[in-house]
Structure formats: C-alpha cells, structure tokens
Structure 1
Amino acid sequence: MNALYAFLWIFALWKWGDWRNWKMYYPTILFYILGDFLYLYLLSDFYPMWTYDPQGVDEKVNLTNTHVSFSIMAVKYPVTILIYLYRFPGGKLIKKLLYILGWVLLYTVNEVVDIKLNLIKYHNGWNLKWSILFNAVMFIILWMHHKRPAAAWGLSILFILFLWRQFDVPSAVFR
C-alpha cells in the first residue's frame, strides 16, 4: 500500500504540480514536514493520536508506523504543497474556501480508505472528526505560511496548544 500511495502521489505531482519551481514552495514543504516530525517525535511512542498499521506486503517487509510516517513526509507532503499552492485560486474568498474544502475532502477520503483497510488506528480520543478539523486548519495554515510565514507559525502554535490541552497530553512526552 505504501508504494501504491507513493506512486499515486508522484503521478499527481507530474500531472498537476509545479515541480519545476519547487524552490518557491520549499519553505512551506519544510514547515509541513516539521509539524509531522514533531508529532512523530513527541507523541507517537508515548501518547499517539493515530498510528499507521502496515498490512500485507508492507507488514511482511517489517514496515512500521515510523517508516510509513517518513514515507508520507518524503512523498505526500511535498507533492501536496507543489499542487495545492500552485493551483490555489485567486479572487473571491468563497472560491478559496471551496478549494481548501476540496483538499480537506481529498485527505478525508484518503483517511477513510486507510480506516477501511485497517492501515490507521486512532488513540487517546482522536477520531475522523478530529482529523477533518485538523486538515481544515492545516490547509489554511499551509496557504498562510506561503504568504505570511510568521502569522502561520503563530496560528500553528495556538492550534497545537489547543490540541495539547484538548487531548490532555502529558508533559512526560518531553523526554
């Protein structure tokens, strides 16, 4: 599954992404990856919200949650940015909101497929509704980061603090 997802995302990049101008989007790609890396480092071993559970061939070759997470960071996130920001519409706010909603829907469908195939497990109160909210905020912040990085960092910190409090994350994760 992991390889199939990677292939699909790379195909999407080739078809719809601005891969030739990747340097223009590089800061936002790093911002996106850093956010997930912090989650992986701080929470996934001690207080995860979700974990990936490799199945089939992925399981047979001993892939773990960490392997899947790193492959998502290496392929899905850069591709997402190179398509999402490149094709982000100008003009009216409603057009922008519908575009963001489309990406939230795409990520939600991806996660529903993962749920149905037992590729993802939720923990500590996280569920699909939280993922949808998270993705909505994330796509707004990613667009904001491309335009106004400092504002995106500030909003990200506020959202992280909200989630931290909402899910009662123990301070022991700071090992």
Structure 2
Amino acid sequence: MKQKHITLIMLVVLLNVSKKSWKQVPKYYKSLAYVSFINAFYYYLCRNYFLWEFRPRKINRKWLRAVHILFVTPSLALLSLSSYPETLNKQIWHIGKWSFLSTFGEYIAVKMKLIDYRHGWNVFWSGIIFTILYVYSYLHTKKPMETWILSVVTLVFL
C-alpha cells in the first residue's frame, strides 16, 4: 500500500514537471493556497465524520493527509490552471476533462483500496467536488473575494 500511495503522489509531481506547470506557481500561488486551505478545512470540519478517508498501511495517516493538502491537490489545480483556455467553450471542455480524469483517478484509487468511502459518499460525489475544485480555483484567479464567499456558501450547502 505504501508504494501505491507514493506512486500516485509521484505521478502528480511528474506530470507537473513534464508539463512545466511549476513555472506558473508565482502566477497562481494565491489560488493554490486557497485550494490547500479549503482541503485542510474539510479535514477540520469533518474530523469526526469523514466522508472518505485514505487507507494508509505503513504510512502515517496525518502525514498522508498533509501531503495531499500541501502538494497533491494544489498540484492538480496547478496542472489545470497552467493550461486554462481562453474561450468559454474550451473552458467548459477543460473543466469537464480535468474533472473526469481526476474522478477516474480516484475511482482507480478506490479499486486499489487506497481510499474508503463512508456515509453514502461515492465516486459521483467526488466528481462533483473535483468540478467545484477546478471551477473555483480558476474563479479565484479572477475574483478571489467572491470565490471565498461562494466557497463558504457551498460548504454550508454541502
């Protein structure tokens, strides 16, 4: 299990290296911090009622969460933001593609027994969260205050 978690983490890092998206960190660092904060806030808000949880073996669960909060999720957002298209039709396609690929990646992680779902959570709900992640991380680059307000409303709703 340890190798599978490390392999998935390294895959995201290598994608950023190969796409050279890491060069865009100065441009997007505020949105990446926003993504990390929202991810950490999930862990705080749901600390007694997780909807999904990593299944680490031989890896500290808190360490694994921290790696995802600080590196994996922001790296996924960076990959998406660094190749964001200009036109609305292409933006819709872009968000759909990234949401599908991320959801499919999580589906594989579930099948590999790296993630457990709880309390009725499933890959469909994760797909919605990935869509929100990619939409809001882009919106944050344009209208950060409005995105924070929208995030609070979304969190209360969910």
Q: TM-score, normalised by structure 1?
A: 0.83
CA distance in 2, matches of 1:87, 1:101: 14
Structure 1 residue 118: deviation in Å?
1.2
Q: 2:41 aligns with which of 21, 38, 42?
A: 38
1:26 equivalent in structure 2? 29
Query: How much is the aligned-residue C-alpha RMSD, in angstroms?
Result: 1.4
Q: 1:130 aligns with which of 125, 128, 134?
A: 125
2:106 equivalent in structure 1? 111
Structure 1 residue 63: deviation in Å?
2.5
Q: Which amino acid aligns with 1:153?
A: W
C-alpha change, 1:135 and 1:81, in structure 2 (3 Å) is closer
CA distance in 2, matches of 1:63, 1:103: 29
Q: Which amino acid aligns with 2:74?
A: P
SS of the counterpart of 1:115? helix
Structure 1 residue 157: deviation in Å?
1.1
Is the Cα–Cα contact under 8 Å of residues 17 and 82 in structure 1 kept in the other structure? no
Q: Which amino acid aligns with 2:18?
A: K
1:99 matched to 2:94? The reply is yes
Q: 1:80 aligns with which of 76, 81, 104?
A: 76
Structure 1 residue 88: deviation in Å?
0.1
1:49 equivalent in structure 2? 51
Identity level (%): 25
Structure 1 residue 156: deviation in Å?
0.8
Q: Which amino acid aligns with 2:15?
A: A
Q: TM-score, normalised by structure 2?
A: 0.91
Is the Cα–Cα contact under 8 Å of residues 89 and 99 in structure 1 kept in the other structure? yes
Report the structure number with the largest CA radius of gyration. 1
1:63 equivalent in structure 2? 60
CA distance in 2, matches of 1:144, 1:42: 23
Q: Which amino acid aligns with 1:78?
A: P
Q: Which amino acid aligns with 1:18?
A: S
Instruction: Provide structure 2 residue ranges, at least 5 long, that are not aligned to the other structure.
Output: none
CA distance in 1, matches of 2:129, 2:13: 24
Structure 1 residue 75: deviation in Å?
2.2
Q: 1:14 aligns with which of 12, 17, 23?
A: 17
Structure 1 residue 62: deviation in Å?
4.0
Is the Cα–Cα contact under 8 Å of residues 77 and 134 in structure 2 kept in the other structure? no
Structure 1 residue 52: deviation in Å?
0.6
Is the Cα–Cα contact under 8 Å of residues 5 and 114 in structure 2 kept in the other structure? no
